[in-house]
Structure 1
């Protein structure tokens, strides 16, 4: 039989507890060192943010991509920086170096105007993202964002020596305690127990008195108590032998009386057994009937349980399908909201090419005549006629250059304000007439391809606090709908926009002289995905988005009226935000 050593078992438990405690404490110290170092790195990233924010903001505002790239390359050279991403106000990446943190755009919050901390445990990256805010003429504009990333490798490189020191310290202490505990347990427990075991093996049941323990030491401990208890047990065993002899004689007499009682008892048991057998037979019949009913109930419960599980699974699938459809609809609505802005962006870019190209040609011509003038000066052929001709051509080139650059600047300013309002959707004070001019100016590249005309009737003194982005989206969608649907077969269409203020509410009457819609089509006008030109790529979300913007964003109302062949009109009302 294999003997398990108590001292070894006790030693293993004590050392196991100590080992677990040591690992836990060392792990806590390492984790604390990790988070402390990570906090220092985050502080260094914040300090670095303050250092490079100004120069990077100006580079993005001035569209100086090379300067932004140079600054980013200088930052990525710092060992602490593992990744940098610079984007403009439209979330387009200007430069992206090093590590990139993967984010789900559907789940990430809209934090365009605030600093926030980024952390990804799975990718081992962390850092900060902060907006680039440019101040100009007393206004602040978010021109882009910068994301600085560091990694766990940087943290581990800083705390590597400390980790080795902690682990080595724990190993040395553990080895020393194992040696110390082994010697102590062997001296104080194993050897005394071995001596007691040897004395117990010498026990003689015929002469118990000679088998008593002899005290091994003068100390009073648990082993001495065990010796005294064993000696007392021997004394009781001697007394028990004497009493057992006396008891044996009494037992013989009692056995004789017990035999008589057993005979009577056997007779009584036989009678009771007969009665019990008949009772058990009836109980078996009842038990079989109960088992049959129980099986039927279990089968019914199993069937109902399967049905319930099927219903629960079906319900979950239906809920998941509804949620997915809702998310898809939200994404489609958002994409449709930005589609008009994307179209405007492409058309404005194309429109700007003309004045920019003329400006480049003027500058090139001006450079040529300057070179010619320099050549005449060097060759001493300069005359009054040459100077007059140079001045006339230079003035003509400068005038042409100024006119075309002014035209490009107006297009960019109008489109930029409208684009910023649609992406940011902040509440601010606007002059309604001036803002409508900016919106229509941004649509000029699309309108100039047609013979259609937009008339605006608005008091120039009307100013309100509202969501300018929502108003821009509404007007752009209305004009594009008129061009696409109302003026499909009309060469010269007229769009009329009349603005008036009534009791702290703005009233917009929009009307075109297009083909109009039928009563059936008018009832479905604001329904999502309803369109009469689905075969041409239209989604049917334009008027639905307009209705959502008027009701949900502007807290207003919208009504549509039309007669087939006589155009379509909208009446839109919404409050001045300063009174709500």
Structure 2
């Protein structure tokens, strides 16, 4: 290959157009270099179909410019000799194309109509596979192709691989950008859906917590109302007795039969009745006040300092009626001695739910006196530990991993919603910033352990 041809190849190899996304322009420059280098009449690029059954002209250049003439698609079944020669992946050099065994099949349909005498076909390879050919055609008269001609066109064939690679990179880039844009759109859309779903879940969770609060308060109301009925009933009875004594004294005075002894006895009865009324009304007022504080705490989670043991002791007063209603003894072992900055309402909600849950579910098949125990102590790292334990039937091992899951219940269809312990767990984690764990053995009761820090 002479210096002029090598110079043309060097200039073409340095042309940035070969590595651009302008494939048609790059192909045109390559064919024009071919025409300039070997001074051939026509140069064209032909590409195989996907299944290699046909080959069609992609671009044709002549000494007069780019040709727009439509060229026929060559079918393997119509030109078996030519395709067999291409399949051998060798250069087809046909100085006399009209008589060459590989190309004579084109005489009537292509060579003679286009006045072509000689052909030089060089395979185009990409990633080791033949994808087409560069076809050099000499018109007007036959031409004897030199080794330099074949080498030059072979070098152009190698450069064509860069054009295909650049086009493929651009196609992949466009596909990637399109996919990224679609993915970003999908991510944004799904993010919006997830945010909406999360907001809805938060609202649902809030509503469930509020509903559970009201359910817990409802249970306490029943127990407290029953408990208050007793002192109120005694006070009413004592008051009725006082009214009876006064009416008796009044009648005695009217008849003039009153004596010092009868008056003294009547005064003593009235004082005793007044004392009974006062004690029982104070007891009822105390129950009402404790219940009001518990209800207020559970309805509004506000952060402030409380004496833990005193608070749980007061809370137990509102739980006692519910426990007695279910024939459960509530015991306290309060020894933490801590004053803690926390959410009393959240703590009251948790303890109330754990105690009422034990009363409702732990003693269905009890063979011994039912007992629920609330214990407080200080952990090794100076955190508050509260344990609510019972001596009931326990929780099967298969259920213990699911006990805090939403809607998990073994009482489906019998009033169980599966929300109580799930809400308790969420209150402990989100409001109290603590940990809640369960230990239970079948027929040996269960123990819920609550550890909460001092909040600021």
Query: TM-score band, normalised by the shorter chain?
Result: 0.5 to 0.7
Partners of 1:433 and 1:347 lie apart in 2 by 22
**Counterpart check, 1:492 vs 2:369:** yes
Equivalent runs, 1:67-466 vs 2, <5 Å: 324=200, 327-459=203-335, 461-466=337-342
Partners of 2:262 and 2:323 lie apart in 1 by 45
Change (3 A) 1:412 1:555: same
Once the two structures are TM-superposed, the CA of residue 325 in structure 1 deviates from its matched residue by: 5.5
**Counterpart check, 1:542 vs 2:412:** no
Once the two structures are TM-superposed, the CA of residue 525 in structure 1 deviates from its matched residue by: 0.9
Partners of 1:337 and 1:411 lie apart in 2 by 19
- SS state at 2:450 partner: strand
Q: Which protein is richer in helix relative to its size?
A: 1
Partner of 1:556: 434
Equivalent runs, 1:471-510 vs 2, <5 Å: 471-490=347-366, 492-502=369-379, 503-510=381-388
Partners of 1:322 and 1:494 lie apart in 2 by 41
Partners of 2:288 and 2:347 lie apart in 1 by 19
Aligned length: 275
Once the two structures are TM-superposed, the CA of residue 322 in structure 1 deviates from its matched residue by: 6.7
Partners of 1:444 and 1:450 lie apart in 2 by 10
Higher relative contact order (CA 8 A, sep 6+): 2
* 5+ residue gaps, structure 2: 1-67, 69-181
Change (3 A) 1:326 1:475: closer
Partner of 1:571: 449
Partners of 2:336 and 2:215 lie apart in 1 by 30
- SS state at 1:387 partner: helix
Once the two structures are TM-superposed, the CA of residue 394 in structure 1 deviates from its matched residue by: 1.2
- SS state at 1:386 partner: helix
Change (3 A) 1:430 1:527: same
Once the two structures are TM-superposed, the CA of residue 569 in structure 1 deviates from its matched residue by: 1.1
**Conserved 8 A contact 2:338-2:384:** no
Partners of 2:200 and 2:236 lie apart in 1 by 52
CA offsets 1:250-282 (integer angstroms, 9 cap, x no match): xxxxxxxxxxxxxxxxxxxxxxxxxxxxxxxxx
* 5+ residue gaps, structure 1: 1-282, 284-306
Partner of 2:403: 525
Partners of 1:509 and 1:322 lie apart in 2 by 33
Change (3 A) 1:563 1:433: same
- SS state at 1:536 partner: coil
Once the two structures are TM-superposed, the CA of residue 319 in structure 1 deviates from its matched residue by: 7.4
Change (3 A) 1:466 1:350: same
CA offsets 1:512-563 (integer angstroms, 9 cap, x no match): 1111112220000110111111211121111111111211111111111111
**Conserved 8 A contact 1:340-1:476:** yes
Once the two structures are TM-superposed, the CA of residue 333 in structure 1 deviates from its matched residue by: 3.0
- State the TM-score, normalized to the length of structure 1: 0.43
**Conserved 8 A contact 1:362-1:400:** yes
Once the two structures are TM-superposed, the CA of residue 377 in structure 1 deviates from its matched residue by: 2.7
Once the two structures are TM-superposed, the CA of residue 392 in structure 1 deviates from its matched residue by: 2.9
Once the two structures are TM-superposed, the CA of residue 344 in structure 1 deviates from its matched residue by: 0.9
- SS state at 1:535 partner: coil
Once the two structures are TM-superposed, the CA of residue 431 in structure 1 deviates from its matched residue by: 2.1
Q: Which has the larger radius of gyration?
A: 2
Partners of 1:434 and 1:324 lie apart in 2 by 38
**Conserved 8 A contact 1:337-1:545:** no
Q: Which protein is richer in strand relative to its size?
A: 2
Change (3 A) 1:557 1:423: same
CA offsets 1:393-443 (integer angstroms, 9 cap, x no match): 213312321232122122112211111111222222222222112211101
- State the TM-score, normalized to the length of structure 2: 0.54
Partners of 1:396 and 1:386 lie apart in 2 by 15
